[in-house]
Amino acid sequence: MSSWRSSLRIFDISQVLRPGLPVWPGDTEFGFERTWRMEDGSPVNVGKMTMTTHSGTHADAPLHYSADGMDAASMELDPFIGQCLVVDARGVSGEIDVADLPHLDSVDRVLFRTWDSFPHDEWRSDWTPISSEAIEWLALQGVKLIGTDAPSVDPQDSKTMDAHKAVAKNAMRILEGLVLDGVEEGRYELIALPLKVGGGDAGLTRAILREIPDA
Ligand SMILES: Nc1ccccc1C(=O)C[C@H](N)C(=O)O
Ligand SMILES: [Zn+2]
Ligand SMILES: [Zn+2]
């Protein structure tokens, strides 16, 4: 009788949305205020949040990088749920290129860990972007979703957005701002559902990885 796991380990790979959350320079700071207070006699506490669509862990919608792209509410869910491969790219200098990619066999989703320790409390503009050649190669291998612990798949000063354009050309999906500290390289189940934001150029996402039972 093989032992049955009572539960599979879950890794929460999402940032905490909170005031002080580092955001893209010049973008909307995360704001939170209480609009109904129990201390004022209200039967409940209710809050109000203001934030950029690209706050913390999020999925870009095609509308972000294509003027006529679909919004976050229209994105299909399949790319965001299923088996993925976490790749440790911490040793990569410059940008992740084809030579930095592992051999892939039948994997639809690839997540890149680039930070030794995720910068929760400071904006770091020196992240490791992904080259458009690497994205094209991943698309050729059948990859449908690319995730990163960086705030963008392109460099902060990009004007041509080559990585996003390669994603658009291959109808792939993007997760950015993941927290992959402590996640070993390997295969996991990804569950990362973007908020269904009508007109949204991105969807805030609670992303998790779940261990895959030993075959
Ligand atoms: N908030 C911004 C404001 C202006 C330009 C870029 C951003 C981004 O957040 C980058 C985005 N996460 C991206 O998909 O690359
Ligand atoms: Zn984004
Ligand atoms: Zn992006």
Q: Quick check: is 51 in a domain?
A: no
* Residue 12 labeled ligand binder: no
Q: Give the residue from 7, 2, 13 showing the smallest Cα distance to 84.
A: 13
Residue with tokens 């500290």, as numbered in its chain: 181
Q: What is the dihedral of CA 199, 202, 203, 209, to 10 degrees?
A: 150
Is residue 129 a contact partner of residue 152, using CB atoms and an 8 Å limit?
A: yes
Q: Quick check: is 8 in a domain?
A: yes
- For residue 78, give the CATH number of its domain: 3.50.30.50
Question: Phi, psi at residue 12, to the nearest 5°?
Answer: -85, 110
Catalytic residue among 64, 109, 113, 173: 64
Q: Quick check: is 37 in a domain?
A: no
What does the pLDDT profile of the chain (215 residues) look like in tens digits?
A: 556 555 899 999 999 999 999 999 999 999 999 999 999 999 999 999 999 999 999 999 999 999 999 999 999 999 999 999 999 999 999 999 999 999 998 999 999 999 999 999 999 999 999 999 999 999 999 999 999 999 999 999 999 999 999 999 999 999 999 999 999 999 999 999 999 999 999 999 999 999 998 75
* Ligand 1 center–CA 23 separation, angstroms: 9
Q: Quick check: is 85 in a domain?
A: yes
pLDDT for the residue 7: 87
Q: Quick check: is 191 in a domain?
A: yes
Q: Give the residue from 108, 69, 101, 89 showing the smallest Cα distance to 188.
A: 108
* Ligand 2 center–CA 147 separation, angstroms: 11
Q: Give the residue from 189, 113, 120, 197 showing the smallest Cα distance to 147.
A: 113
103 is catalytic: no
pLDDT for the residue 140: 97
Q: What is the dihedral of CA 9, 14, 18, 24, to 10 degrees?
A: 160
What's the total number of domains in the chain? Answer: 1
What is the spatial distance between Cα 66 and Cα 75, in angstroms, rounded to a whole number?
14
pLDDT for the residue 105: 87
Proximal ligand: closest to the CA of 158: 1
* Residue 54 labeled ligand binder: yes
Range of the domain at 178: 3-14+56-211
Looking at ligand 1, which atom is closest to the CA of residue 26? Answer: 3
* Ligand 2 center–CA 171 separation, angstroms: 16
Q: Quick check: is 175 in a domain?
A: yes
ipTM of the complex: 0.96
Looking at ligand 1, which atom is closest to the CA of residue 153? Answer: 15
Give the E-state strand segments of the chain in sequence order: 10-12, 31-36, 46-50, 58-60, 81-88, 109-113, 145-148, 173-176, 186-194, 202-210
Looking at ligand 1, which atom is closest to the CA of residue 174? Answer: 14
Residue with tokens 């690209």, as numbered in its chain: 54
* Residue 103 labeled ligand binder: no
CA 44 to chain centre: 33
Helices (H) and strands (E) in the chain, counts: 3, 10
Q: Quick check: is 38 in a domain?
A: no
CA-proximal residue: ligand 1, atom 11 (nearest): 152
Q: Quick check: is 36 in a domain?
A: no
